[in-house]
Chain A
Amino acid sequence: MHSVILATASRYLLALILMFSVFMLLRGHNEPGGGFVGGLVAAAAYALYFLANGLDAARLIFRFEPLRTSALGLFLALLSTLPSLVTGQPFMTAIWVDTGIAPIGKVGTPLLFDLGIYLLVLGITLTIIFSLAEEDGLS
């Protein structure tokens, strides 16, 4: 099943949906969204690309081993818990820094934590999809 229209569209859609997923991640703190949904949306973007162009192309454009991506996500989430220990506060206390730059605003450890969730969910979903696809011989 190879559709030229879908294959062409998916290239642009991938970029668009990925941007949307990052948007979801970043707005999560104030509006509906967050790392979990963001990660799922990003995974959906690659899933679409995979359906249109096949497994090898999808692996190529994702570049990383998905399981490593989730490991990195878990690591970032863990990393975000550490700064509180340095400042002597209870474990996992959120720490915020006001950058003072208008569009960025305050940046804090929960953002890093959420980024970790984002990468982890993305990695896990793609791990499962890619493994199943290999199993299927759909490449």
Chain B
Amino acid sequence: MLGLIATGFLASAMAPVLYKRYKENFGWIAVSFPLYMFFSFLSRYPRIAAGESLRESLPWVPSLGINFSFLLDGLSLTFALIITLVGAAVFLYAGAYMKGYKDAGKFYLSIGVFMTSMLGLVLADNMLLLFVFWELTSFSSYLLIGFNHHKESSRKSALQALLVTGGGGLALLAGILLLGSVTGTYEISSFYDMNRVITAHSLYPAIVALLLLGAFTKSAQFPFHFWLPNAMEAPTPVSAYLHSATMVKAGVYLIARLNHEIGGTPLWQDTVLVTGAVTMLFTATLAFRQTDLKKLLAYSTLAVLGTLVMLLGIGSELAIKAFFIYLIAHSLYKGTLFLVAGTIDHETGTRDIGKLGGLRKAMPVTAAAAALASFSMMGVIPLIGFIGKETVYKAILELDRWGLPLITAAVLANACVVMVTLLVGFRPFWGKAGETPKQAHEAPLKMLLGPALLAVLGLLIGLFPDFFISAMLEQSARSILSEELSLKIALWHGVNLVLILSFVTLLLGGLLYTLRPATLRHSFFSALPALIKPSSWYESALKGMLSFARLQTKTLQNGYLRNYSMVIVLAVLLSSSFALYKGYGKMPPVPDASITFYEAALGFIIIAATILLTTSTSRLKSVVSLGVLGFSIGIIFVIYGAPDVALTTFAIETLNVILFMLVLYRLPKFFNHSSSSNRIRDAVIAGSVGVFMTLVVLFSTSFELSSELKDYFASASLLEGKGRNVVNVILVDFRALDTLGEITVLAIAAIGVMTILKTGREGRA
């Protein structure tokens, strides 16, 4: 599996080059990559179905417990097959859809990286490895949403998705670290049986909160759902793939994956259940007002994600079964419908449902695929969506508490989904032909194969569920529940309550569809969704952060050099003088030292230079006395045996004087800017710093420091560092990493200086 992942990243890196070479036909080449992966996972299907789970591990950072370890069991296989199959459809489709885009090569690079990371995410057995892939999917999603980066709305939506999912990712990382500290390992299969230990631990509520925060943001659960409809700015293949079939299910996957290890408690189950149910109902009603094909689909995706989370919250055997059927069904029909929406957009130039109609004559194949997928989405017999919805209802009815409110919510939400389906899957194709910007034609083969394949598969699985998914379903459910199960799925159960509910859902959906135009005109309904609007919370949080940054910049970094140095010096003074004050009583007397003639003379020169420097009204004099000051200090280093420091000081002082000379002529005529009160303030600050530093030096030299380090460096310098100059050996060998960091900073500073000088000149010119 490690090989597959590595191949994936390599193939993605090659995509832009290959695209340039093959252009038109690249879709056919690109599709081989997900197809290859699909079949290599399919070839492992029999072993998984027989109850095996495959594990591979390669150490990465073993000292931190991070390994390239992968686990293929029922759960990860289901996701891997969905990812690669929908991936194949999307890759082929994009070959035609992205033809008009300039950067289509980059598109394939990003989406290839996404697919590989998503596979890595569902296969990872190490929590930290999972996190790495998790972040990679957020990152590639950011690139893909912002693909049309010349549009401001694209950039904004991309950033919003990144901030929401990235923020959740941070919470997830914290949760993973806590979990690791409780279990002592990051390997999921190692803490598989530690449910008791984890749930009894005092950190358990924190772990649950953090992990769920990560999962909910990724899977766009209320109140984080708002980023998903905005993500529709992405090219349609991306919406079909990332924001419907795969990435948004990563959070759902995480909850399912960890259900056995940390679930089973009221805290976990109820939080998941309630969040899912609220998301399902709330987002389904939001779909009501949409008129854009993709937005409609996005809100119905949200409702499905809510349903999936809710099912995990119910957590019964039947609910888990419903979870998997619904998951597979949704990926198939929603993948199809998104691609169909893209085709309509591509062929007619609009996605507004008000303008579309009667397309079935021009686009018969697309219309057929759409109809098939729509039936599945509405839950019409004999498609897989029907089995999915039946099982969901059955799982809810089985509950002994909250049964009635939940089933009402589920029926209402599904009725909204039915309405969306009628709007997206049928309305554009039937009725009167609409006024569209472009004359519609049937899409090219590349854009037909994918959607048709997914739609037909939805029908086949519905007709022969035993053949296609039974074995996988059983193993998948076992990964979550760890009990021996015997799941039977069938298309027809006879006439019972569940079937009646299915009919009610369809009728209600049809009713909503017919009532929609009338209610939309009514102001009450149009004002309703604005009451609860988490996206405005996001906006104000963002705004608050920016204005805080502005305030902080204005006070601390106002552009005056004198202000910067004052802030720095004061910060040091205030933060350290307390420690100095506390140790004052213990301060030993100043050691007697005989002062030589040289030292006295140097001291005199330094003091004289300082006085001249601060009182002079000529800049030239100040610069020269600054030089005198620097050289005198250099001589002190010579006297006290620090030749390296002295050398550097001399060189720096020399260059300093040159630099000053360069700017001196440019400065305006000398003028005393500071008021006398300012000067007194500065004198007080400078004086205190002087006193402070003197005390620090006296204080620190009067202690006998344990000289382990000194001895170590003195002896190791020649033996290990092969040099007699201890200072230099420390710089280039023992502490070379520090030096590397410092010189990097220096290089950046030089670029900064150059930029400031150059831009300044252009501005003035």
Contact = CB atoms under 8 A, between A and B. Distances in A.
A98 to B, nearest CB: 10
Interface string A94-136: 1010000000001010100110110011011101110111111
Nearest to A110: B732
Interface in B708-765: 720-725, 727-729, 731-733, 736-737, 739-740, 743-744, 746-747, 749-751, 753-754, 757-758, 760-761
B74 to A, nearest CB: 40
A125 B724 CA distance: 28
Contacts of A47: 655, 658
B648 A37 contact: yes
A114 B725 contact: no
A40 interface: yes
B607 interface: no
B659 interface: yes
Interface string A9-48: 0000000000000001000111111111100110110010
A29 B740 contact: no
Contacts of B747: 70-71, 73-74, 120, 124
Given A40-B652, A135-B761, A127 B740 contact: no
B647 A32 contact: yes
Contacts of A31: 724-725
A51 B662 CA distance: 10
A82 interface: no
B653 to A, nearest CB: 10
A92 interface: yes
Contacts of A131: 753-754, 757-758
Interface in B593-623: none
B644 interface: yes
Contact of A121 (B662, B733, B736, B746): B746
A73 B746 CA distance: 11
B630 interface: no
A77 B746 contact: no
A85 interface: no
Given A31-B724, A110-B733, A116 B643 contact: no
Nearest to B737: A92
Contacts of A35: 732
B736 A44 contact: no
A61 interface: no
A68 B746 CA distance: 14
A29 B744 contact: no
Nearest to A108: B722
A74 B744 contact: yes
A53 B737 CA distance: 39
B651 interface: yes
A67 B652 CA distance: 19
Contacts of B640: none
A108 B722 CA distance: 9
Nearest to A115: B732
For chain A, give the interface size range.
35 or more
B563 interface: no
Given A33-B728, A138-B662, A110 B736 contact: yes
Contacts of A34: 644, 725, 727-728, 731-732
A12 B725 CA distance: 31
Given A34-B725, A127-B750, A117 B644 contact: no
A44 B753 contact: no
A71 B749 CA distance: 12
Contact of B733 (A37, A94, A133, A134): A94
A29 B725 contact: yes
A127 B720 CA distance: 36
A122 B150 CA distance: 41
A92 B744 contact: no
A129 B648 contact: no
B663 interface: yes
Contact of A134 (B652, B722, B729, B757): B757
A57 interface: no
Interface string B370-397: 0000000000000000000000000000
Contacts of B760: 135
B655 A37 contact: no
Contacts of B757: 131-132, 134-135
B655 A77 contact: no
B21 interface: no
A67 B754 contact: yes
B544 to A, nearest CB: 38
B666 interface: yes
Contact of B663 (A116, A132, A134): A132
A6 interface: no
Contacts of A113: 732, 736, 739-740
Contacts of B724: 29-31
A40 B648 contact: yes
Contacts of A77: 739-740, 743
B665 interface: yes
Contacts of A30: 723-725
B654 interface: yes
A94 B721 contact: yes
Contacts of B663: 132, 135-136
Given A32-B643, A70-B747, A129 B725 contact: no
Interface in A44-101: 44, 47, 51, 67, 70-71, 73-74, 77-78, 81, 92, 94, 96
Nearest to B755: A131
A106 B721 CA distance: 11
Given A117-B739, A135-B757, A136-B662, A44 B732 contact: no
Interface-central residue, B654, B721, B724, B747, by most chain A CB under 10 Å: B747
Contacts of B761: 134-135
Contact of B746 (A33, A78, A120): A120
B305 to A, nearest CB: 43
B503 to A, nearest CB: 67
A74 B745 CA distance: 10
B743 A40 contact: no
A32 B666 contact: no
B317 to A, nearest CB: 51
Contact of B750 (A32, A67, A92): A67
A43 B656 CA distance: 12
Contact of B666 (A36, A81, A135): A135
A81 B740 contact: yes
B722 A123 contact: no
A78 B725 CA distance: 22
Nearest to A42: B651
A134 B721 CA distance: 43
A124 to B, nearest CB: 4
Interface string B102-129: 0000000000000000000000000000
Nearest to A34: B728
B655 A29 contact: no
Nearest to A96: B722
Given A40-B655, A51-B658, A70-B747, A128 B753 contact: yes
Contacts of A51: 658
Contacts of B647: 24, 32-33, 37
A138 B662 CA distance: 8
A119 to B, nearest CB: 10
Contacts of A71: 747
Given A34-B727, A73-B743, 10 more contacts: A29-B729, A30-B724, A35-B732, A106-B722, A113-B736, A113-B739, A128-B659, A129-B662, A132-B663, A135-B757
10 contacts: A29-B729, A32-B644, A32-B725, A41-B651, A43-B655, A94-B721, A120-B746, A128-B753, A129-B659, A136-B663
For the complex of A and B, list the 9 residue pairs with the smallest distance between their C-beta atoms, beginning with the closest: A40-B651, A29-B723, A32-B643, A124-B750, A30-B724, A110-B732, A131-B757, A132-B662, A34-B728
